[in-house]
Amino acid sequence: EAQVTQNPRYLITVTGKKLTVTCSQNMNHEYMSWYRQDPGLGLRQIYYSMNVEVTDKGDVPEGYKVSRKEKRNFPLILESPSPNQTSLYFCASSLAGALPRELFFGEGSRLTVL
Amino acid sequence: DAKTTQPNSMESNEEEPVHLPCNHSTISGTDYIHWYRQLPSQGPEYVIHGLTSNVNNRMASLAIAEDRKSSTLILHRATLRDAAVYYCILRANYGGSQGNLIFGKGTKLSVKP
């Protein structure tokens, strides 16, 4: 089954404790991206990657890092989480290339930073 | 980056058609118009996309204005399961600009029985 898998789905952590949210897709997609969703602010893009070893900042990249060493994985790293990073996070993937393709989203990871 | 404008919320009655508008006055000639929806407690899911011509699929229809500065997602017969937040976004068709996507807040559609 084609899917985007995020882990963990729920996490409560404390300020300053490094954490990684993993994202994996099994569709051989070139494009992957991360979003955060907060009440009243909608979906905002954090980082995206057009292919392996190619990453770019989205609209709200501060406090986050990403890496794209393999095509299927695109982890989101919070080196020193702060309470303002408490949010619902979504990973998405799609084919890239000359024509835009539909995005496939994961089920989300709810992060609470105390 | 090109942005879209949608009403915050809309209401519909079950089994009636719903027209969800989206304005994108700064759209470029190579931007595709995509629609996604997010059901409660789920990730967004693809609905439909188009460039210039109107498009139909099993979920919905997309009507694109001749000047491409606006579009309308049409649900032909709303059901209770269509209650969701609907997002209209623009996606470039080449290179790195495909990557930066602006979703905004979308339109929250309520469907009354």
Give A50-102 pLDDT, tens digit per residue.
Answer: 999 999 999 999 999 999 999 999 999 999 999 999 999 999 999 887 666 88
- Is-contact B37 B86, C-beta < 8 A? yes
Please tell me which of the candidates A4, A48, A106 has its beta carbon nearest to residue B99.
A48
Average pLDDT, chain B: 92
The pLDDT value given to residue A23: 98
Q: Is A33–B101 a contact, with Cβ atoms under 8 angstroms apart? A: yes
Q: What is the C-alpha separation between A110 and B42, in angstroms, rounded?
A: 12
Does B83 score more than 70 pLDDT? yes
Q: How high is the pLDDT of residue A98?
A: 62
A6 to each of A54, A93, B84, how far by Cα in Å?
20, 12, 22
- Confidence class for position B94, pLDDT limits 50, 70, 90: low
**Could you give the residue ranges of the DSSP H alpha helices within chain B?**
none
What is the per-residue pLDDT for B96? 57
**How far A58 CA lies from chain B's nearest CA (Å)?**
6
Gap between the Cα atoms of A111 and A30, Å rounded? 26
Distance CA A65, CA A76 (A): 6
pLDDT computed for residue A105 by the predictor: 97
For residue B96, the SS3 value is: helix
pLDDT at A14 over 90: yes
**B45 forms bridges with which residues in the sheet?**
B37
Instruction: Give the number of beta-carbon pairs within 8 Å between A and B.
Output: 70
B99 touches chain A (CB under 8 A): yes
Q: Give the pLDDT score at B33.
A: 93
